[in-house]
Structure 1
Amino acid sequence: MIYSTDNPIAIQSQKWLVAALLDLMKEKPYDKISIKEIAEKADLDRSTFYRNFKSKENVLNLYLNELAEKYVNNLVEAGEIDMRKVSKIFLELMYEHIDFISALRKNGLSGFLLDAFNKYLPYIHKLTQDKFPHTISEEHLEFALAFNAGGMWNMLMKWIDEDFVHSYTDIVKAFYEISNFNFVKK
């Protein structure tokens, strides 16, 4: 549960708590971070934490939902889109936040990232549905969305697991090649 509000003071407290957790994740494993430490790092008390969040996971989810919303906004701002642009925008955003994404992976929390982005798949589909040469039946749509999201997520995780042996440009090129490979020849 995340306390949703228009109160600027509560919104600022949430931002400070998110920033505190992200900073602490650079210093130590996620499971060793206490609510008390997060609140202290944010210069707030524990009661402020609990007024805004139920758990550390809620703090992570707020940040991950913000990343997913930023991804959707970047897609909207891109105008004309295709699968290459969808993947490029995704990879650019992940690259901007690669230290955080790597920390999630190192702490066994990368599934949180996939869950956050999966919530936005139907909206992303609405943005892109008429941009591709093939259409997917409604019956198979959820599977197709999961397939694409899982592929992008797995590429990202493989890149992290291999300690970024490949450059960002190589990853984008690989996705382009895979996208072309998956098109049916006529």
Structure 2
Amino acid sequence: MYSTQNPIAIQSQKWLVSALLVLMQKKAYKSITIKEIARKADLDRSTFYRNFKSKQDILNFHLDSLTQDYISKISELNELDMQKIFKVFLDFCNVNLDFIISLRRNGLSNLLLEAFNMRLPFIHELFQSKLPYKISEPNIELVLAFNAGGMWNLLMRWIDNGLIQNSADLTQVFKEASLFNSKREEKGL
């Protein structure tokens, strides 16, 4: 995969991503071929290989785009706290729910978590001045992993349970978990 400013190449990349995502809705990721992706995008295989080395590269390209979009949404907030970050996370998940479900169904959901985990230190550094609490330097990596893991597991459980709860229900779950954790901290537990 290469980065380009060429509008034709950028459009081809978008078409290839879209083609893969549509195909993933209909069949298992591992059974999708490069030929099918190119055909679905109305491009030839040589165009595919000028933009990507594999279908995994398409996923990585799309995941990178999603994480950049998430960072952009957070940067729009003037002040941050975990409730606001969760709201952005939940909105992001709802917008991309079909893709996330498709990843989960194909055993690839950890790719999205890994894409976010790789950017957590950058996200924290970018927005730490907006956060109400400063995490001590030796604990940053673990605290970020703890928070991301909690939100991620909530999302995966919601998907695995058939999306029964609505956004308000999930927000309430997150508030209760936050309250539970803060009350335990106050008691010295």
> Partner residue of 1:150?
149
Counterpart AA for 1:185 = E
Conserved? CA contact 2:80–2:132, under 8 Å = no
Q: Quick one: distance in 2 between partners of 1:134 and 1:7?
A: 43
Alignment partner of 1:108 is 2:112: no
* SS in structure 1 of the partner of residue 98 of structure 2: helix
SS in 2 for 1:79: coil
Q: Which residue of 2 aligns with 1:173?
A: 172
| 2:41 equivalent in structure 1 | 42
Mapped contact 2:117–2:148 kept (Cα < 8 A): yes
SS of aligned partner of 1:155: helix
Deviation at 1:138, TM superposition (A): 1.4
SS in 2 for 1:54: coil
Cα distance between partner residues in 1 of 2:77 and 2:133: 21
Residue aligned with 1:120, SS: helix
**Cα shift at 1:119:** 2.1
**Structure 1 unaligned spans of 5+:** none
Find the counterpart in structure 2 of residue 80 from structure 1: 79
Q: Give the aligned length.
A: 185
In the TM superposition, residue 130 of structure 1 has moved relative to its aligned partner by 4.2
Aligned partners of 1:82 and 1:128 also within 8 Å: no
Q: Which runs of structure 2 are paired with 1:10-89 in the superposition (5 Å)?
A: 10-89=9-88
Secondary structure class of the residue paired with 1:39: helix
| Partner AA of 2:83 in structure 1 | R
Give the Cα–Cα distance (whole angstroms) in 1 for the partners of residues 78 and 59 of structure 2.
30
Q: Is the 8 A contact 1:22 1:100 kept in 2?
A: yes
Contact 2:38 2:48 in 1 (8 A): yes
Q: TM-score, normalised by structure 2?
A: 0.92
Task: Give, in whole Å, the separation in 1 of the partners of 2:106 and 2:176.
Answer: 31
The letter of the residue matching 1:40 is R
Which residue matches 1:99? 98
Percent of aligned pairs sharing the same letter? 57
User: Considering only aligned residues, what root-mean-square deviation do their CA atoms show, in Å?
Assistant: 1.4
Cα pair 1:64 1:116 within 8 Å, conserved:
yes
